[in-house]
Structure 1
Amino acid sequence: MSGRQKNVVIIGGGPGGYESALVAAQLGAQVTIIEQTGLGGAAVLTDCVPSKTLIATSDFMSRFAAAGRLGVGFEGTGEDQHAEAHAKQVNERILDLAEAQSHDIRAQLESVGVRIVNGRGRIAGPGKVIAEPVHEGSGNAARTEEFAADVILVATGCTPRVMDTAVPDGERILTWQQIYALTELPEKLIVVGSGVTGAELAHAYLGLGCDVTLVSSRDRVLPGEDADAATVIENVFRRRGMTVLGRSRMKSARREGDGVVVTLEDGREVQGSHVLLAVGSVPLTREVGLETVDIETRDSGHITVDRVSRTSAQGVYAAGDCTGVLPLASVAAMQGRIAMAHALGDAVSPLNLRGVCANIFTDPEIATVGYSQVDVEEGRIEARVMTLPLSTNPRAKMRNITDGFVKLFVRPGSTTIIGGVVVAPQASELIYPIGLAVQNRLTVDQVASTFSVYPSMTGSIAEAARRLHEAEI
């Protein structure tokens, strides 16, 4: 970048915002972030980091339940010895961890010279952004401040969708952002919504010892995921004692005494102590000033962007959940990095969603990358498929893992790996070698000829590749 130092103003301090700020600062720009709740945004403070910490606690609890199958037991007197989660301490640790992560992000931004303004950001016209006070108090903007901007990035994220017939009260009727205020575990939790958020949190509370009922409007849980993987998860849920109500759409949720009642559209009623609503999210794009520069949005309110994160307004970019491209922190961060590279003249490659590794943190986890089974079945891509159950993997046997599989998708002829699915504990770690293969267009022979540790879970990836080679002969 040459000439006058450029001013970059970023509205929102989540992954799309703070990652773009780091890139912009590295490229020599003067960078300001306007954030109204805390650096890291919802991903760090109320969504991704807290939920995955809760799930990690649940998974730790689950190890005690499986200990007996490994020949390990509790010593001492009493037949009812067991591990027990204490909600207050669990949630305090979660919130402390989230706050620490937010603090680390602030320190990193300040170390490279990024100015951080606590306030509500709004575009006031071409090249102009206003930061307004959120409320009075220490650390908040005391007055409205105006910034000139050569480049504007909108990264305002999203918020849980709320239905008029099921209004959260923060006590018994909860969104996924409100559960960390609980001081006691729900005695009987109803989770409405079987998408990623609903499935993950239903799994977490089941592992913590709660009685969980999952209300799913579709035929199966995780309807947007690989059908084989979703079937494994639903079977595990049921086997561990979760009640799964398929084809059951919520009509309303209401408080009744010390509990809640969820009414389904077919008239059935489900009673519980608490209800957790996971029925989608809406973008935070109102009152951001998009109309002042004629930024195009979809009917859903999401900002329309291209593959380098440009909006329809010159000099204005957008990243993260407010764009609706793919609701993952990793995608938000990549969109932000790409935006700054493009805006400030650095080398840039457009966003490639086929290279995105995604993970669902149930137990077992579901990790995916590249083309899917649905893409193959609906004719969007021609591929050969190889699936290996983990039950034959020696490392899995040692760890008492009986559920899960590795699946690879390969182009016929070239044998290039174009996609994969892993269902296993820590699938989020195991998907990376398949992600490398997809991103770099590796063939099954290249993967098959790469050494894997014996015994290891990754051995199943190499074995699947070898079997795909044998099928070509």
Structure 2
Amino acid sequence: MEPMTQTFESTQSVAVLGGGPGGYEAALAAAQQGADVTLIERVGVGGSAVLTDVVPSKSLIATSDAAVAISEASDLGVQFYAKDAKGKPLKPEIAINLAAVNKRLMALAGQQSEDMRSTLMEAGVRILSGHGRLEGPNAVVVSTSVGGTDFDRVEADTLVVAVGASPRELPTAKPDGERILTWTQLYDMKALPEHLIVVGSGVTGAEFASAYMNLGAKVTLVSSRDQVLPGEDEDAAKVLEQVFKRGGMQVLSKSRADTVERKGDGVLVTLSDGRTVEGSHCLMAVGSIPNTHDIGLEEAGVELNESGHIRVNRVARTSVSNIYAVGDCTNFFPLASVASMQGRTAVFHALGDIVIPLELRKITANIFTAPEIATVGFSEKDVRDGEADGIVYKLPLAANPRAKMMGIKDGFVKLIARKGSGTVIGGVIVAPKASELIYPIAVAVERRLTVDQVSRVFAAYPSLSGSITDATRAMHHDFVAP
């Protein structure tokens, strides 16, 4: 009698190039699926998103929110006083120790990176530190030493490229790391800038302009468009611009910066119309470029677009069947949350698990200004342009009882529902912590709930989320059959 033999299917191998949010999630999901996983990362697990971008920047914004809360507490009847030598009350000023703030930010970023690394290692992921380059569609060569003298070669059935993006630099405004800065270089500053000039009024520029204004710096925002946050909801952009101007920020609309020069202990920004702006520091927030150059993508057959972004489909697959790409290096949608979802989706698709292709219209985005701006689904502009057959309703946040209690004056809830059915297809929230408030609207968009269905959900009273149910109840009459 012949001995019984058992045969096992060979374990799938996955190599992930880049350890940011997308690469991290891809590696973790693959390990949880039982794959043999190797992650290659050159700066540390978490990538630039954790170490120099999302984590430190949002931590800085949290600090600025605290400063605003303290400065506006007197509006709520809370007053801060110190006493002089004679016992007379003095109103103290808020002081920002930027060196201490930045030290805390970078410590938080480092700790988050270490936590992520530990999670991967516990899941069985092999982590290689070094610069990776594709060698065909099934291998990555990793330079594991300074100067590239030591190499490791990783072969895998599936490759996931998650190399991210870097701040775009202009030849007429070269960052020096001291006075002319990218957003990755801000955390070396030891003191609050006397006058920060922010070039670029997109999401990054608006967030940092808001944060430093609320920390007490003089801020000038140079915007090449007619509104801050071009492409975002117009009503939201107007609210934010009003808040900026009320806070003392100078907003230069329709103004393009031609050059930025170092002038001693300051900077000189020259605009295209000949005007100049002088300040102590300049932040260049003019977009980003994908880190896809010279990593072997073209040689492996991966298709890029003109900007160097990797072309992917809705399951993050590239033009090469076993190579996937996720995050800011792709042409999909540059958000950390999207990168994470792409990473999981890519691995599920590669390893044969159930996959739901990503839909751009269901992505929730947030801008961490003060107030925050959160969006999901179709916009009011889409309705105006005929891309969506919808009805728009806007409810000012000042009408909300909890907002009154908290002293909130700026913001609104805007809902967009499809004509006829009343299905929620989009929404905008401008409010403190809009990033939290948008979630029920995102669920409604994802699950195709109607305004009547959302209105029947109990919201705590009083609460800011009550504005969502108030808006849906107000829209009821638009969908009642005649």
Q: What's the TM-score once normalised by structure 2's chain length?
A: 0.96
Aligned position for 1:456: 463
Task: Kindly indicate whether the alpha-carbon contact (under 8 Å) linking 2:128 and 2:144 is maintained by their aligned counterparts in 1.
Answer: no
Matched, 1:434 2:456: no
Matched, 1:212 2:219: yes
Give the whole-Å Cα distance in 1 for the aligned partners of 2:233 and 2:249: 21
Matched, 1:281 2:281: no
Deviation at 1:353, TM superposition (A): 1.6
**Identity rate of aligned residues, in percent?**
57
Picking from 345, 348, 353, the partner of 1:346 is 353
Aligned position for 1:29: 35
Deviation at 1:246, TM superposition (A): 0.3
Aligned position for 2:135: 124
Aligned position for 1:14: 20
Aligned position for 1:402: 409
Matched, 1:229 2:240: no
Task: Kindly indicate whether the alpha-carbon contact (under 8 Å) linking 2:416 and 2:425 is maintained by their aligned counterparts in 1.
Answer: yes
Distance 1:297 1:221, change over 3 A: same
Aligned position for 2:479: 472
Matched, 1:98 2:104: no
Give the whole-Å Cα distance in 2 for the aligned partners of 1:421 and 1:222: 14
Alpha-carbon RMSD across the aligned residues, in angstroms, is 1.1
SS at match of 2:298: helix
Which segments of 5 or more consecutive residues in structure 2 lack a partner in the other structure? 1-7, 84-88
What amino acid is aligned across from residue 84 of structure 1 in structure 2?
A: A
Deviation at 1:142, TM superposition (A): 7.2
SS at match of 1:101: helix
Deviation at 1:23, TM superposition (A): 0.7
Aligned position for 2:276: 269
1:40-439 → structure 2 map (5 Å cutoff)? 40-77=46-83, 79-133=90-144, 135=146, 143-439=150-446
Give the whole-Å Cα distance in 2 for the aligned partners of 1:451 and 1:126: 52
What's the CA shift string for 1:182-221, capped at 9, x where partnerless?
Answer: 1111001000000000000000000110000000000010
What's the CA shift string for 1:124-178, capped at 9, x where partnerless?
Answer: 1131111113527xxxx97201111100010000000000000000000000000
Give the whole-Å Cα distance in 1 for the aligned partners of 2:316 and 2:9: 24
What amino acid is aligned across from residue 43 of structure 2 in structure 1?
A: T
Give the whole-Å Cα distance in 1 for the aligned partners of 2:422 and 2:35: 44
Task: Kindly indicate whether the alpha-carbon contact (under 8 Å) linking 2:161 and 2:326 is maintained by their aligned counterparts in 1.
Answer: yes
Question: Higher mean Cα deviation, 77-86 or 193-202?
Answer: 77-86
Give the whole-Å Cα distance in 2 for the aligned partners of 1:76 and 1:214: 35
Deviation at 1:288, TM superposition (A): 1.1
Deviation at 1:86, TM superposition (A): 0.6
Task: Kindly indicate whether the alpha-carbon contact (under 8 Å) linking 1:36 and 1:134 is maintained by their aligned counterparts in 2.
Answer: no
Deviation at 1:324, TM superposition (A): 2.8
Give the whole-Å Cα distance in 2 for the aligned partners of 1:407 and 1:126: 46
Give the whole-Å Cα distance in 2 for the aligned partners of 1:149 and 1:94: 36
What amino acid is aligned across from residue 120 of structure 1 in structure 2?
A: H
Give the whole-Å Cα distance in 2 for the aligned partners of 1:361 and 1:223: 16
Deviation at 1:333, TM superposition (A): 0.6
Matched, 1:446 2:453: yes
SS at match of 2:181: strand
What's the CA shift string for 1:416-437, capped at 9, x where partnerless?
Answer: 0000000000000000000000
Which segments of 5 or more consecutive residues in structure 1 lack a partner in the other structure? none
Give the whole-Å Cα distance in 2 for the aligned partners of 1:112 and 1:81: 51
Select the structure of larger CA radius of gyration: 2
Give the whole-Å Cα distance in 2 for the aligned partners of 1:272 and 1:74: 32
Distance 1:411 1:134, change over 3 A: farther
Give the whole-Å Cα distance in 2 for the aligned partners of 1:360 and 1:72: 29
Give the whole-Å Cα distance in 2 for the aligned partners of 1:23 and 1:314: 19
What's the CA shift string for 1:370-390, capped at 9, x where partnerless?
Answer: 111111111101100110001
Task: Kindly indicate whether the alpha-carbon contact (under 8 Å) linking 1:407 and 1:421 is maintained by their aligned counterparts in 2.
Answer: yes
Give the whole-Å Cα distance in 1 for the aligned partners of 2:208 and 2:304: 31
Deviation at 1:442, TM superposition (A): 0.5
